Structure 1
Amino acid sequence: MFIEGILSDDNSIFKFLRGLDLDLFLSKPQFNHLTAFLNHMTRESYDGKISNVKHRHRTSLGRFLNKSQWECDAISTHLQSYITSYIYNRSQSTGQPVYVSIDDMTCVKTKPSSQASHPIQGCGWHFSHVAKRQVYGHQFVAVVLSCDGITLPYQLIPYEKDKASKIELVQQILKTLPTPPLKGYFLADSWYTCTSLLTLAHDEGFAYLGAVKTNRVIFPKGHRPKGIQLKVFAHQLNLKDLDLVTVGSTQYYTYTYEGRIKGGELVKIILSWPKKTVFNEKTLRCFISQDNQLSAKQILKHYTKRWPIETFFRDTKQSFGLANYQIRTLKGIRRLMLLIQLVYLYIHQKKTNHQSFGETLRMHQIECYRDVIKFVHDQTRHGMNLSSIFETLKVA
C-alpha cells in the first residue's frame, strides 16, 4: 500500500483524476505513476525534481515522463475542454465576462559546454522581463481563463523559436477557444499587442484589451496622415484635457483617444498616469481596447483581471518547482507542464472564496498529515505492530 492509498476521499488525487476521466487515456501503471507524481507534488518537500518523489523509483518516473507511450496532447485537449466548460458555465450563470490572459515566463538553465553529450533540449537565449536582459533557458507561454474570481490554466507549453514566433504560438492556442457565451476579453501586456492578435480576437468573438507601447502611432486630428507616437502626443496635452479616475484605491489621470492606429484598426486607447506623477513619461502607461463602449475606468479595471496569470506563475514556481525541473527532453518537459496544470487545478478546486492558493495548499498538506496519523492510530488499535506500519508507509 502506498501513502496515496491512505488518504481520505476528500484528499484523494486518485478520485480527482478519475473524475476527469483521465484513466481512459492511460494504462493502469501509467495512471498509478500519474497519481503518485501529483500526490508528491503537493508535499512540502517537493521542489520540482523527480528525486523528491518517494515510493517510485526515479528511473520509472523518468521513463513515464520521457518515453512511456501516452498521449500528452489528447489529455491536454481533454483538460482544455473541461476548463473551457467550467469557465464558460460560470460566465453563463453569473453574467460576468470571460478573460483570456496571455503571458510568458523564462526558466533560467546553465548553459552547457560544447562537450556536453546530453544537453537539455529546447534551451536557448530569451529576453527575461525580470532580469531585463537575455538569459539562457526555456521560455514558457501560458494562457489562463478567468471568470468571476475563478482562474484556471488553459495551456502551458515551451516556446520553440525555430518552429513559430510567440505570436503565432498564441494564435494557435487561442483558435481552439469557442466563442464566449456573453462578453469575452483577450488580456495581454504590450509585448503581445499587435494587429494580428487584434484581428484574431475579433474573429473569435472576443475583444482585445491590453497594454500598448508608448511608441505606437495614432492618428488624432491635426496629425494625419503621418500620425504621431503616443508618448509624443502626451507632451501636447495639458491638465484640462485629462480625466481623474479611481481604480481600486489608486487615482489616475487619463486621456482617451478614439480612432485608428497604424494597421487600420478602430480602437480606444487610454493614456494614464498615477495622480502624483502626471505627465511623467516614465510613468505613462497606455492601454488599448477593441470594445469602444468601455469608459477609461472600465478599461483600466478590466485590465487588472490579467493579474491572476502573474500569481499563477508565482504559485507554480514556489509550490511546484516550475523553475527547478531537471528534465532533459522536450517531451518530458511538456508532460511535466501538463502535470503542473493538473495539480494546480486539483488544489484550486479545494479553494474557498476566502483562501489564497498558498493557504489552500497548506491546508491540504495538513489534512494529508492528519490522514497518515489517523491511519497509524487506527492500525495500532487493530494490533498492527510498528515494523509493519513502517513497511506499509515505505519508511522501513
Structure 2
Amino acid sequence: MDLLFCLEGILSDFRPLFNQQNFAVFQAFIFGFIANRGNGTLTELYQSSASETQYWSFPKFLSRGKWNADAVAALLIRRIQHLFEDWVYVYDETKALKTGKSQWGLHFFGNFSYQKHRVNQSKFHYGHEFGALGLLSQTATQWHLFPVWVKLIAPQTIRDKSQAVLKRICSKIVPGLIIFDRGFARRKVFTMARSFGHHILCRAKSNAVFYRLPKPPKHRQRGRPRKYGDRLDIRRLRYTLVDIGGQSYSIASKVVRTKMCDAEVRLVIIRNRPKASKPYRYFCVFTTDLMLEIPKIVEYYQQRWQIETAFRDAKQHFGFDAYRSKSRKSINRFVQLSFVAAALTKLIFLMPETTQKPISVEKVCQHLGIHWYRPRKLTQGLRVAYLRSQMAVASFSAKFRKKTNSQNISLTFQDDTPLPFNKAA
C-alpha cells in the first residue's frame, strides 16, 4: 500500500476530534511538518503543506481553534497500543532554547553539559522546558519509540510545574510501566505515579540507599512494625552471569525497600570491571513490578535512550523548537502536532498494510540515491527523506494532471483536415 495513502487513512481516525475546517488544517499541519525542509516555522509549514486555505487559518488554528490537544495525544496512544501488544511508557524532559521576553513561560534552567575547561559556555540556558511521554513498542525485529505526548513546563506557575505536568499525563493514560531516568528518583514522583495504578522502572542515583526486608520478630513487640531492615551492601551480593541480547552481564537481584518509594521494589545490579586493576562499577535499576523478569528489566532500561534520539529527530526534522507563538495554548498545540507528525512518520512504515512488501534499507537508499552510507536499520532521517520524495512525486503528478486535463484539450477536427493514420496509409 502507498505510504501517503496509509498516512491519510490514519489521519482519518482523528476526524471525530475536529470540525470540517479544523480537520483540513490539522491534515495540512501534519503534511507540512513532514514535507518541510526548512526550520519548521509557521510560514514554512504553510508553504510545504500546499494547503488551499489562507495563511491566517494556521495561527488561528493554534490560538482559537476548538479542539483538544490532549484528546489528540490520547487517541494516538490508543491507536499504537492497539497495533502492538508489548509496550511501555518512557517519560523525560527536554528543552528549547529561546531569546526575548514576549513568549509565555520563558525561564532559566541549568546547562547539564557545562564543563569548566570549555570557553564561551554558560552555566544556564534560557528558554522553555517540556515534559514528554514516549510509547516504547516491540515489533518482531526491534524496539521502536513513538513520541506521543508533550506539555509545556513553567516553574513559576503551580499549574505547570514539572510534577503537575507529569500528574496530568499520568491521570489520562492507561495504567502501565513508566520508565524514568535517575533524575526523577524522588518519593513524590513515585507516589503520585503509583496512585494512578502505574508501575515504576527507574535507575538509582549513585548515593541511593537500599534496605533489606525486615525480619519478623520472634515475639510480639509494642509499637509500629518495622518497615526497613539492615542496610544493603551491594558488594556482598551473589552475582551470576546472565545472557541478554547476545551479551553476558554479571547481575544480582534482590527485593528490597528504599525511602524513595513507599512499596517494595526489585533491585537489579549490573557489575562490570573495565580493567583487572580497577575496582568494580555498579549500575542499579529498580522497579515496583515484582513479577517482571530480570532480562526484561535490563532490556527496558537499555531502550530508554530512544526517547533522547526522538527529541533530537523532532527538533531536526519536525520543527519542534521552531515555534514563534506567544501564548501557552499555542505553544502546547504546536509541539503536540510536531510529536504527532514524528510518531505517524514512524508508524506508517510499521503498519501491517505497508509491511506486506517490507520497505528495506537498501530500497530506501537506492530510491534516494545514497551509495556512501549503509545503515543497518531505517533511521528517522531516512524515513522523512523517503516520505518527502514520495510527496514531491505526488505533488508533481497532481499538477501535471491538472495542466493536461482532458477537458482542456479540444478533440474536434475539421472535415478537410487529414488524419495522421491517413497519411501513413
- Give the TM-score of the pair, scaled to structure 1: 0.75
Q: Deviations over 1:330-386 (max 9, x none)?
A: 22111102211331233123214754332222221111111123234434544799x
Q: Secondary structure at the match of 2:182?
A: coil
Q: Deviations over 1:189-208 (max 9, x none)?
A: 01112334434554444421
Write the distance in 1 (CA, Å) between the matches of 2:200 and 2:386: 37
Structure 2 equivalent of residue 4 of structure 1: none
1:310 to 304, 308, 311: 308
Letter in 1 for 2:124: Q
| Equivalent position SS for 1:265 | coil
- The separation in 1 between residues aligned to 2:165 and 2:212, in whole angstroms, is 33
Distance 1:107 1:126 in 2: 11
8 Å CA contact 1:178–1:204 kept in 2: the answer is no
Of 254, 258, 268, the residue aligned with 2:255 is: 258
Instruction: Indicate the RMSD between aligned Cα atoms, in angstroms.
Output: 3.4
CA separation in 2, counterparts of 1:210 and 1:175?
Answer: 19
Rounded to whole Å, the distance in 2 between the matches of 1:106 and 1:376 is 40
| Matched residue, 2:370 | none
Amino acid in the other structure paired with 2:392 = Y
**Post-superposition CA distance 1:260-303 (Å, at most 9, x none):** 11255311222324442689789542211112344543321121
- Residues 1:248 and 2:271 aligned together: no
CA shift digits 1:199-222 (9 cap, x unpaired): 455444442111111211212499
**Could you tell me which amino acid in structure 1 is paired with residue 264 of structure 2?**
L
Q: Which residue of 1 aligns with 2:329?
A: 331
**Correspondence for 1:175 among 156, 162, 171:** 171
**Distance change (3 Å), C-alpha of 1:201 and 1:165:** same
Unpaired runs of at least 5, structure 1: 1-7, 386-396
Determine if the alignment matches structure 1 residue 356 to structure 2 residue 353: no
**Aligned equivalents of 2:386, 2:255: Cα separation in 1:** 49
Off by >6 Å, runs of 4+ in structure 1: 224-227, 278-282
**1:140 alignment partner in structure 2:** 130
Which amino acid counterpart does residue 19 of structure 1 have in structure 2?
D
Counterparts in 2 of 1:13 and 1:221: CA distance versus 1, 3 Å? closer
Structure 2: distance between partners of 1:248 and 1:125:
41
- 1:99 matched to 2:88? The reply is yes
Does the CA contact (< 8 Å) of 1:167 and 1:192 recur in 2?
A: no
Letter of the 1:300 partner, please give it. Answer: V
1:25 and 2:48 are equivalent in the alignment: no
- SS of 1:32's equivalent in the other structure is helix
Is residue 95–residue 129 contact of structure 2 (8 Å, CA) maintained in 1?
Answer: yes
Give the Cα separation in 1 of the matches to 2:275 and 2:132. Answer: 33
Q: Could you say which residue in structure 2 is the equivalent of 1:391?
A: none
The alpha carbon displacement at 1:326 in A equals 2.2
- Do residues 35 (structure 1) and 42 (structure 2) align? no
1:191 to 183, 195, 199: 183
Residue 48 of structure 1, aligned match among 40, 48, 58: 40
Deviations 1:198-247 (A, max 9, x none): 3455444442111111211212499x97965x8xx45xx26x84333344
Which of 97, 103, 114 is 1:120 aligned to?
103
Give the residue type in structure 1 aligned to 2:385: R
Q: In the alignment, is the contact (CA less than 8 A) between 1:101 and 1:144 conserved in 2? A: yes
Per-residue deviation at 1:61?
2.5
Task: State the AA in 1 paired with 2:98.
Answer: K
- Tell me if the contact between 1:217 and 1:227 (Cα under 8 Å) persists in the aligned partners: no
SS at match of 1:369: helix
1:365 aligns with 2:388: yes
Q: Distance in 2 between matches of 1:227 and 1:168?
A: 35
Paired with 2:243 and 2:111, the residues of 1 have a C-alpha distance of 32
Q: Which amino acid aligns with 1:62?
A: P
Shift of 1:169: 2.1
Q: Is the 8 A contact 1:273 1:283 kept in 2?
A: yes
**136-145 or 373-382: bigger deviation:** 373-382
Deviation at 1:32, TM superposition (A): 3.1
Partner of 1:388: none
Please report how far the alpha carbon of residue 49 of structure 1 lies from its aligned counterpart in structure 2 after TM superposition: 0.9
SS in 2 for 1:146: strand
Partner of 2:413: none
- The alpha carbon displacement at 1:253 in A equals 3.2
Larger Rg: 2
Cα contact 2:271–2:280 (8 A) shared by 1: no
Instruction: Tell me which moved more, 264-273 or 56-65.
Output: 56-65
Letter in 1 for 2:25: H
2:256 is matched by which residue type in structure 1? G
C-alpha contact (below 8 Å) 1:143/1:155 kept by paired residues? yes
